[in-house]
């Protein structure tokens, strides 16, 4: 059994154990602060630049999200939920022309991320064909979390990998979906359709 297979096997067991902490699916949240002030603008909490995964390039989160519906996901390369990359990519391809963007944030907060970004990039780009933006590794929970995730904590701090935060075109957090919510779930699909149908205020 190769190294990747061994890590996937051991991590799948850890993911199963973490499932109980991730029962939340489709929890609605009240309108959060920091919404955009006008059409085509991004909220203050998304006005950050962050490194692109395994690259010298920088991702401008404001430019990527302004006027768009956004699905923000904390990811990991060696988790039982890692195959959700395939579904997230399918969501992105199905809705990007309508104004949805997906952004993945690799994190080792749950000890299931590769040590090297090159390995993370292989999992995302080669194994699962990801084309949506992926950032360099960040922290997503606790007081040292990246400012984007500190804001997302208003909807619920991630308790495992592959939490999904849906944000509307106005920069308001609409719903928080736990790890157990698959990218092709009816609840997530309906929420995405709803935010894409709403105008920018």
Residue pair 177/187 in contact (Cβ under 8 Å)? The answer is yes
Distance of CA 125 to the CA centre of its chain: 15
Q: E strands of the chain, at which residues?
A: 27-28, 49-51, 58-60, 69-75, 100-106, 164-167, 173-177
Apex 154 CA angle, 153 and 157, nearest 5: 25
Residue pair 62/42 in contact (Cβ under 8 Å)? The answer is yes
15, 42, 79, 124: which one is catalytic?
A: 79
Nearest to 77 by CA among 12, 169, 141, 31: 12
Residue pair 179/19 in contact (Cβ under 8 Å)? The answer is yes
Tokens of 120: 């993370």
Q: What does the alpha-carbon distance between residue 84 and residue 196 come to, in Å, rounded to a whole number? A: 22
15 catalytic? Reply is no
The catalytic residue positions are 79
């Amino acid at each position: 059994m190769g190294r990747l297979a061994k890590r996937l096997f051991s991590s799948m067991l850890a993911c199963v154990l973490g499932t109980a902490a991730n029962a939340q699916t489709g929890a609605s949240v009240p309108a959060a602060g920091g919404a955009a002030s006008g059409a085509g603008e991004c909220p203050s909490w998304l006005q950050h630049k962050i490194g692109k995964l395994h690259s010298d390039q920088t991702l401008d989160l404001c430019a990527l999200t302004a006027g768009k519906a956004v699905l923000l996901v904390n990811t990991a390369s060696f988790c039982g939920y890692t195959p959700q990359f395939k579904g997230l990519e399918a969501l992105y391809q199905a809705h990007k022309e309508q104004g949805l963007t997906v952004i993945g944030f690799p994190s080792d907060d749950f000890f299931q991320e590769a040590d090297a970004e090159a390995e993370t990039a292989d999992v995302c780009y080669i194994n699962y064909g990801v084309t949506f933006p992926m950032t360099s590794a960040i922290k997503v929970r606790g007081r040292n979390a990246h400012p984007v995730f500190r804001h997302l904590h208003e909807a619920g701090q991630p308790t495992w990998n592959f939490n999904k935060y849906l944000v509307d075109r106005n920069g308001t957090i609409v719903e928080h979906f736990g790890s157990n919510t698959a990218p092709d779930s009816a609840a997530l699909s309906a929420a995405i359709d709803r935010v894409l149908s709403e105008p920018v205020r």
